[in-house]
């Protein structure tokens, strides 16, 4: 989440366990205590030495039960939330309980029915585990830390299983995505390298606009969007991709938006943290969203690069920077919602509420009532706060948050778990809301006639049938049957 202070109690303040965790486990086979024979099937092998992987340590508690330790963020042991690891060498029908024992937060959507993600080699589509097999509780065996336990039954011996906190979205996936966009040779899509991270990864900047807006001397209305400053907040990337996909499409609304606005998008502000499987920090352990006031070119180079560009645009009389939106994911709240700033100027304050109100009309998962405006001192170093202070009264700066877990549609009480598609749909709705904001709707009909229709928007492909306490709201059997997994219910034998 964007807005949590480093000193907030739930951010944690110790390493969560007595032994320091150096790096990720690497093809680590767990043998029963005292076992001297040959390794065999069922001796689980844990691995997190891959991109965005995170698992620091494994301890076997009993034949069936394993304590798992999240590897803390690099150079910052206080953040332990994201996990992403594989398990192989399983036996068919092998039942296990995994306990994630060293979370650095106490509040969690696990209390509201969130469940870890799973996929396997033969079923490569991510699924949420049934929430009824997930337990979140204060554990006397682990310094009263909050522990998330889940029961699981392996069903295919040859499969490698992967478990993660949320849908992963890696740096490599992002690069491939941008490569594929570039190959389409669209004359309204531009990709440049704005800078490099400490580990020399690309800081990509995209410009999406009609070429007319880029000719010498043209006046530009700019919408600036950033994402993944917090690397574990993977939904940020899905939302961002939804925005980009929509803006480069042939949809009549997208065409009008490109004609009137210049979209500048830096979708991955913390590529090292993403690559390393951190939750909140950069390679050097910095929460980059607390360093906007004075980013250093060597310690926070990606942030420094983006800030320089924004200041340059601010100083250009031909450029009007009208929106800045930084996309995050939230670990305790439902829905999509926004944070904005508080201004003395009442009219500006009112005008700032317009965009989230319009977005609420377009996106069923976006909650205006969860949207809030603040000027807390601890958030002074965030992009939203810093730029809100810098830019003039016609600019609006928001943090867009989206739940790691689910949304509740108005008038109902059932939580609908987010899918990758639902996150992307939120992105598309963010993009189309600019049409309403700038009252460009009448222009859409003009361009709509000769344009082929966009594919009809599909509903989210997968609603999980297992929602704690309200299973009847999710009839089985809809959508995506092919890859649907029926993991055996392992909860009974325990």
Query: How far apart are CB 331 and Zn ion at their closest, in Å?
Result: 9
Query: How far apart are CB 286 and Zn ion at their closest, in Å?
Result: 14
Residues 233-252 that bind Zn ion (CB under 5 A): 233
Contact 337, 410 (CB under 8 A): no
Residues 116-155 that bind Zn ion (CB under 5 A): none
How far are the Cα atoms of 1, 191, 227, 425, 431 from residue 233, in angstroms, in the given order? 7, 23, 9, 17, 20
Binding to Zn ion by residue 4, rule CB under 5 A? Answer: no
The C-alpha atoms of residue 277 and residue 234 are separated, in whole angstroms, by 11
Stretch touching Zn ion by CB under 5 A, among 89-97, 107-115, 155-163, 320-328 = 320-328
Query: How far apart are CB 1 and Zn ion at their closest, in Å?
Result: 5
Nearer to Zn ion, 165 or 462 (CB): 165
178-217 footprint of Zn ion as x/- string (CB under 5 A):
----------------------------------------
> Of residues 258, 328, 432, 463, which one binds Zn ion by CB under 5 A?
328
Q: According to DSSP H, which parts of 146-300 are helical?
A: 171-183, 235-247, 252-260, 271-276
Nearer to Zn ion, 326 or 420 (CB): 326
Contact 110, 147 (CB under 8 A): no
Stretch touching Zn ion by CB under 5 A, among 1-9, 67-75, 170-178, 196-204 = 1-9
Backbone torsion region of residue 93, taken as left when φ is above 0, otherwise alpha when ψ lies between -120 and 50, otherwise beta:
left
Binding to Zn ion by residue 1, rule CB under 5 A? Answer: yes
The C-alpha atoms of residue 3 and residue 185 are separated, in whole angstroms, by 38
The C-alpha atoms of residue 185 and residue 181 are separated, in whole angstroms, by 8
The C-alpha atoms of residue 289 and residue 423 are separated, in whole angstroms, by 22
Strands (E) located in 121-188: 123-128, 134-139, 145-153, 161-164
Q: Considering 88, 364, 401, 420, which one is annotated as catalytic? A: 401
Sheet containing 28-29: which strands, arranged edge to edge? 28-29, 45-47, 84-88, 161-164, 117-120, 123-128
The C-alpha atoms of residue 215 and residue 231 are separated, in whole angstroms, by 35
Query: How far apart are CB 379 and Zn ion at their closest, in Å?
Result: 11
Nearer to Zn ion, 57 or 230 (CB): 230
The C-alpha atoms of residue 98 and residue 85 are separated, in whole angstroms, by 12
Nearer to Zn ion, 123 or 230 (CB): 230
Stretch touching Zn ion by CB under 5 A, among 50-58, 172-180, 323-331, 483-491 = 323-331
Q: Which two tokens stand for residue 472?
A: 């009847």
Stretch touching Zn ion by CB under 5 A, among 69-77, 118-126, 324-332, 464-472 = 324-332
Backbone torsion region of residue 450, taken as left when φ is above 0, otherwise alpha when ψ lies between -120 and 50, otherwise beta:
alpha
Nearer to Zn ion, 2 or 415 (CB): 2
Query: How far apart are CB 287 and Zn ion at their closest, in Å?
Result: 9
Stretch touching Zn ion by CB under 5 A, among 170-178, 222-230, 254-262, 313-321 = 222-230
Instruction: Give the chain's radius of gyration (CA, Å).
Output: 23
Query: How far apart are CB 293 and Zn ion at their closest, in Å?
Result: 17
Nearer to Zn ion, 1 or 205 (CB): 1
Binding to Zn ion by residue 397, rule CB under 5 A? Answer: no
- For this structure, is 401 an active site residue? yes
> Of residues 95, 105, 230, 432, which one binds Zn ion by CB under 5 A?
230
Nearer to Zn ion, 145 or 226 (CB): 226
Nearer to Zn ion, 382 or 395 (CB): 382
Query: How far apart are CB 37 and Zn ion at their closest, in Å?
Result: 48
Q: According to DSSP H, which parts of 316-419 are helical?
A: 346-352, 354-362, 383-390
Phi first, then psi, for residue 191 (nearest 5°) are -125, 130
Query: How far apart are CB 233 and Zn ion at their closest, in Å?
Result: 5
By CB under 5 A, the count of residues binding Zn ion is 5
Could you give the angle at the alpha carbon of 133 between the alpha carbons of 130 and 138, nearest 5°?
130
Nearer to Zn ion, 233 or 365 (CB): 233
Query: How far apart are CB 88 and Zn ion at their closest, in Å?
Result: 32
Phi first, then psi, for residue 24 (nearest 5°) are -80, 150
Write out the DSSP string of 456-485.
PPPPPS---S--TT-GGGS-TT-S-TTT--
420-459 footprint of Zn ion as x/- string (CB under 5 A):
----------------------------------------
Binding to Zn ion by residue 2, rule CB under 5 A? Answer: yes
Stretch touching Zn ion by CB under 5 A, among 12-20, 68-76, 224-232, 485-493 = 224-232
Given the rule CB under 5 A, which residues bind Zn ion? 1-2, 230, 233, 328
Q: Which residues are catalytic?
A: 401
């Amino acid at each position: 989440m964007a807005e949590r202070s480093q000193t907030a109690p739930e951010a944690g303040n110790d390493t969560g366990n007595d032994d320091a965790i150096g790096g990720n486990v690497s093809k680590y086979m767990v043998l029963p205590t005292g076992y001297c024979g040959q390794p065999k099937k069922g001796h689980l092998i844990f691995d997190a030495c891959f991109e965005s992987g995170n698992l620091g340590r494994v301890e076997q508690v009993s034949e069936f039960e394993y304590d798992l330790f999240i590897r803390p963020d690099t150079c910052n042991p206080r953040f332990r939330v994201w996990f992403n690891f594989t398990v192989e060498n399983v036996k068919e029908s092998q039942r296990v309980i995994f306990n994630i024992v060293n979370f650095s937060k106490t509040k969690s959507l696990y209390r509201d029915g969130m469940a870890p993600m799973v996929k396997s080699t033969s079923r490569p589509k991510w699924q949420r585990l049934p929430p009824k097999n997930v337990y979140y509780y204060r554990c006397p065996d682990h310094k009263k830390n909050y522990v998330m336990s889940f029961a699981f039954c392996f069903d295919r011996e040859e499969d490698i299983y992967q478990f993660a906190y949320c849908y992963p979205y890696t740096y490599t996936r992002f690069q491939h995505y941008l490569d594929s966009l570039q190959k389409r040779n669209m004359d309204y899509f531009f990709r440049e390298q704005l800078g490099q991270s400490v580990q020399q990864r690309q800081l990509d900047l995209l410009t999406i606009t009609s070429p007319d807006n880029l000719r010498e001397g043209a006046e530009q209305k700019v919408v600036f969007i950033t994402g993944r400053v917090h690397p574990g907040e993977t939904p940020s990337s899905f939302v961002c991709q939804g925005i980009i996909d929509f803006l480069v499409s042939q949809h009549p609304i997208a065409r009008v938006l490109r004609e009137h606005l210049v979209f500048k998008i830096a979708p991955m502000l913390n590529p090292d943290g993403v690559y390393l499987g951190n939750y909140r920090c950069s390679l050097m352990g910095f929460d980059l969203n607390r360093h906007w006031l004075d980013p250093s070119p060597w310690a926070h180079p990606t942030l420094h690069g983006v800030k320089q560009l924004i200041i340059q645009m601010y100083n250009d009389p031909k450029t009007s920077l009208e929106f800045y939106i930084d996309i995050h994911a939230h670990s305790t709240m439902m829905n999509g919602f926004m944070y904005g700033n508080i201004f003395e100027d009442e009219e500006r304050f009112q005008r700032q509420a317009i965009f989230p109100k319009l977005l609420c009309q377009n996106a069923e998962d976006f909650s205006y009532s969860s949207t809030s405006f603040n000027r807390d001192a601890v958030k002074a170093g965030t992009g939203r706060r810093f730029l809100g202070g810098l830019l003039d009264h016609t600019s609006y700066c928001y943090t867009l948050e989206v739940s790691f877990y689910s949304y509740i549609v108005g008038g109902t009480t059932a939580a609908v778990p987010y899918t990758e598609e639902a996150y992307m749909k939120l992105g598309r709705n963010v993009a189309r809301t600019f049409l309403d904001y700038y009252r460009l709707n009448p222009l859409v009909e003009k361009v709509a006639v000769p344009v082929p229709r966009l594919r009809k928007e599909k509903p989210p492909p997968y609603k999980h049938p297992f929602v704690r306490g309200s299973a009847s709201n999710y009839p089985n059997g809809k959508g995506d049957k092919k890859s649907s997994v029926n993991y055996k219910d392992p909860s009974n034998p325990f």
